[in-house]
C-alpha cells in the first residue's frame, strides 16, 4: 500500500497533475516521468503515442508502482485503451473521463467547451466521454496549439498571450458555453487569462484536480491507499522525477509548474529507457 504512484506526461505539464496529487493524496509517494526528449505529443500519431506510453509504463513498473496515471491528455485520449490489455492487474487512469464527469455535473445548460492539442481534439475523446454521460449535451471543441509553447517559454501574461487567448476562447464564449474543460496539462497555467475572456458563470474544469480525486477514490476502493502518514518535510522527498532529456532544465522549469522544490531529477539514458 505504500508503494508509489507512477505518473507520466510528454514533458513538464504533468507536474500540474502531480501538484493536485500532492494536495489531495499527500501521503502517496510519486514517481514521475517526463518524456522531454520527445515532446510534444500533440502532433504525433496514435501509433507513436501508444508506443511511447507502453515504453514509459514499463519503465515505471521497475519502481514497483501500484497505479499509473497518464497525466498527458493526448496520451490519455489516444493510448489508454490500447495499453490497458498489456498491463493486466495494474490500475491505469487517464485524465479525460474525470474531467468529463465534472463538466457534465457543473453545466446547467449542457453546452460544454473543450480546449486541447490538435491530437486530443481530433481524437474526439472528450466528446465521446461527455456524450456517454449526457447524450443531450452540446460539445464545442477548439484546438489551441500555441498555448503550450507560450507556457513553456514562460509567457503567462502580456499582449501576445492576451491576443492568443482571445483568438482561441472568444469563439467558445460566443457559443454560450457554461463549462470549459482545460484539456491539456499546460492550460491551467493560463487559467486567469482564459477566465478574463469568458463570462463569470462559466466553470473552468481542471482535469488535474478531478484526476487526483478519482485516483484517491480508486486507491481506497482497491485497498491500495497509503497507510503511512508523512510530515510536510517528508512529502517533498517522496517525489522522484525522471526525464528523457536535460534534467537541469526540467528541474528549473518544473519547480515553477509545481510551485515547490523538486528534490530529485534524473535523466534516463536512451538505452536504459528503451530496454525497460
Among residues 7, 22, 49, 72, which one is catalytic? 72
144 is catalytic: no
Q: Scan for cell 485516483, then name that residue.
A: 215
- The C-alpha cell at 120 is 486530443
Element (H, E) at 38: none
Contact (Cβ atoms closer than 8 angstroms) between residue 72 and residue 13? yes
Residues 60 and 269: their CA atoms lie apart, in Å, by 14
CB atoms within 10 A of CB 106: 15
Contact 81, 3 (CB under 8 A): no
Helices vs. strands in the chain: H and E counts, helices first: 13, 10
Residue with cell 523538486: 262
CB 73 within 8 Å of CB 95: yes
CB 275 within 8 A of CB 34: no
241 is catalytic: no
Choose the catalytic residue: 139, 184, 190, 212. Answer: 184
Please confirm whether the linkage preceding 40 is cis (ω < 30° from 0). yes
CA separation (Å) from 49 to 36, 119, 210? 14, 10, 23
Residues designated catalytic? 72, 184
Amino acid at each position: 500500500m505504500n508503494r508509489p504512484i507512477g505518473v507520466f506526461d510528454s514533458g513538464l505539464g504533468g507536474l500540474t497533475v502531480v501538484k493536485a496529487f500532492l494536495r489531495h493524496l499527500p501521503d502517496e509517494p510519486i514517481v514521475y516521468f517526463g518524456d522531454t526528449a520527445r515532446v510534444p505529443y500533440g502532433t504525433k500519431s496514435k501509433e507513436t503515442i501508444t508506443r511511447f506510453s507502453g515504453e514509459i509504463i514499463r519503465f515505471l513498473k521497475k519502481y514497483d508502482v501500484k497505479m499509473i496515471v497518464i497525466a498527458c491528455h493526448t496520451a490519455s485520449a489516444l493510448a489508454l485503451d490500447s495499453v490497458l490489455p498489456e498491463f493486466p492487474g495494474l490500475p491505469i487512469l487517464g485524465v479525460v473521463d474525470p474531467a468529463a464527469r465534472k463538466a457534465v455535473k457543473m453545466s446547467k445548460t449542457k453546452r460544454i467547451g473543450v480546449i486541447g492539442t490538435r491530437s486530443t481534439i481530433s481524437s474526439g475523446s472528450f466528446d465521446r466521454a461527455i456524450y456517454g454521460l449526457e447524450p443531450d449535451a452540446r460539445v464545442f471543441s477548439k484546438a489551441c496549439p500555441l498555448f503550450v509553447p507560450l507556457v513553456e517559454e514562460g509567457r503567462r501574461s502580456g499582449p501576445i498571450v492576451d491576443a492568443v487567448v482571445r483568438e482561441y476562447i472568444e469563439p467558445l464564449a460566443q457559443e454560450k458555453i457554461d463549462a470549459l474543460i482545460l484539456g491539456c496539462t499546460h492550460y491551467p497555467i493560463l487559467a486567469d487569462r482564459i477566465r478574463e475572456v469568458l463570462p463569470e458563470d462559466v466553470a473552468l474544469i481542471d482535469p488535474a484536480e478531478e484526476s487526483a480525486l478519482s485516483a484517491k477514490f480508486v486507491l481506497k476502493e482497491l485497498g491500495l491507499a497509503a497507510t503511512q502518514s508523512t510530515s510536510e518535510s517528508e512529502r517533498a522527498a517522496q517525489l522522484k522525477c525522471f526525464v528523457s532529456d536535460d534534467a537541469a532544465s526540467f528541474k528549473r522549469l518544473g519547480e515553477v509548474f509545481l510551485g515547490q522544490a523538486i528534490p530529485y531529477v534524473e535523466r534516463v539514458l536512451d538505452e536504459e529507457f528503451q530496454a525497460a
